Structure 1
Amino acid sequence: MTVFSTLLGNQPILPIIQANSSEEGVAIATAMHKAGIHLVEVVLRTPASLDALIAIKKALPDLCVGAGTITDQALLAKSLAAGSDFIVTPAVSPRLLDALSQSSVPVVPGVSNTADILLAKEYGFTEQKLFPASLCGGEQFLKAVSSVFADIRFCPTGGINEQNFKDYLALNNVMAVGGTWVAQPQWVQSKDYDKITQACLQVLNNN
């Protein structure tokens, strides 16, 4: 089965889209795509999230679109039915990992400590999301676990911004960073989508 890093390719950021409507989701995704982004995560934190994911895939068929904030089997099933290209979770549990291990698309389970990392690894997941990165040790934590879990690669998310993303990307066990800062709520609210494009370009051009 295809692994997440294959979908990600050389893209150093996993841009996160939180949309309050399908139209808003498409506008955000279009702004990101304009910068050269080919893969995005739509977080399922609003009632319109799944509809936005479906609309984005229809409007931008060459964009790889995943579903985030998957916390149970029901949400996983809905996300897969909506056509999600990959799955991201904020945390793990044995019950959730049981379901994720049966997924037909790549999965990036969320971990926040060494016990989580080991549990996800036992289910075969060697690509994991460190969340919330800034609150569970950040760069120092990732450095500390790099030799203990030498086969695990991370996508740290939470507290990553334009000031520190390069520091995270410099770590050997980081495959990409999760980014909300490239689609700030005030830009979306004011429909200043060009700022989203510029923020994405800054990451892509300064990696």
Structure 2
Amino acid sequence: MSHYPFKALAAGKPPLIPVIHVENADHAEPVLEALVAAGIGLVEVTLRTTAAIEVIRRMVKLGSPAIIGAGTITRPEQFDAAVDAGAKFGVGPAFSPSLFEASRKTGLPFIPGIGTASEALWAREAGFYELKLFPAEFVGGIGWFKHIEPIYPDLIFCPTAGINAANAKDFLGCPNVFAVGGGFLAPRDRIEAEDWAAVESLSRQALAAIKD
């Protein structure tokens, strides 16, 4: 079995993952349509709202080319709920043995969060080679990746927190960074204002910035 199930799943998709916070399930379809129109192919719906599972379900039901995942997974039972809703991957801000077990039980590709070199080692020993550095900008940023790469050359990362359109390209320039995520692509205030044109524009700008 590949060490990098998410990387295989996301092959061909731009390496920008909007982490979206949606309070109203009726916003599921229009925000996804705006993101897809901009060229986004991966979407992480954070489970920090009561509407999140229904949002995932409604996004998946649209049948768009985007791959929908569940973020902020912190409890084992959230894996079953995410899979039932149709999520294709899961992301956590941290990890625990029970989360690892739930990931394996459901078969959902899981990107656990880490914040230190020790945590990266523990996750690798548990069989996880795709990790989320969180909160990335506040635990070392780009310098962290440069120092960790020769120690763990088989680990790859998706940093979040502190990532924006201005620095995403720099993070993606690190050989051990396979994607970046954040709320900057579809800000919560723009979603709540139902400003789908702004969501599409911000995402287009961010995608253009990593290509320049």
TM category, shorter: over 0.9
Letter in 1 for 2:49: T
1:6 to 8, 20, 23: 8
| SS of residue matched to 2:105 | coil
CA contact 2:22–2:188 (8 Å) conserved in 1? no
Deviation at 1:105? 2.5
Deviation at 1:157? 0.4
**CA offsets, 1:89-131, max 9 Å, x none?**
1101122222223331211111111121111111211111111
Deviation at 1:24? 1.1
User: Distance between the aligned counterparts of 1:179 and 1:74, measured in 2?
Assistant: 24
Which 4+ residue blocks in structure 1 deviate beyond 3 angstroms?
none
User: Distance between the aligned counterparts of 2:84 and 2:133, measured in 1?
Assistant: 26
Of 1-10 and 167-176, the range deviating more from structure 2? 1-10
1:94 equivalenced with 2:97 (yes/no): yes
CA contact 1:18–1:25 (8 Å) conserved in 2? no
TM-score by length of 1: 0.94
Letter in 1 for 2:10: L
Of 93-102 and 116-125, the range deviating more from structure 2? 93-102
User: Distance between the aligned counterparts of 1:41 and 1:186, measured in 2?
Assistant: 17
* Correspondence for 2:29: 26
Deviation at 1:9? 2.1
1:198 equivalenced with 2:201 (yes/no): yes
| SS of residue matched to 1:101 | helix
1:118 equivalenced with 2:121 (yes/no): yes
Deviation at 1:82? 1.4
| SS of residue matched to 1:183 | coil
Deviation at 1:48? 0.4
Deviation at 1:63? 2.2
Deviation at 1:8? 1.9
1:156 equivalenced with 2:159 (yes/no): yes
Number of aligned residue pairs: give it. Answer: 207
User: Distance between the aligned counterparts of 2:162 and 2:148, measured in 1?
Assistant: 19
**CA offsets, 1:53-99, max 9 Å, x none?**
00011123432111111111111111112111111111011222222
CA contact 1:17–1:42 (8 Å) conserved in 2? yes
Letter in 2 for 1:151: D
User: Distance between the aligned counterparts of 1:175 and 1:91, measured in 2?
Assistant: 18
User: Distance between the aligned counterparts of 1:54 and 1:12, measured in 2?
Assistant: 23
| SS of residue matched to 2:181 | strand
- Structure 2, gaps ≥5 residues long: none
Deviation at 1:179? 1.9
| SS of residue matched to 2:137 | helix
**CA offsets, 1:40-59, max 9 Å, x none?**
11110111000010001112
- Structure 1, gaps ≥5 residues long: none
| SS of residue matched to 1:66 | strand
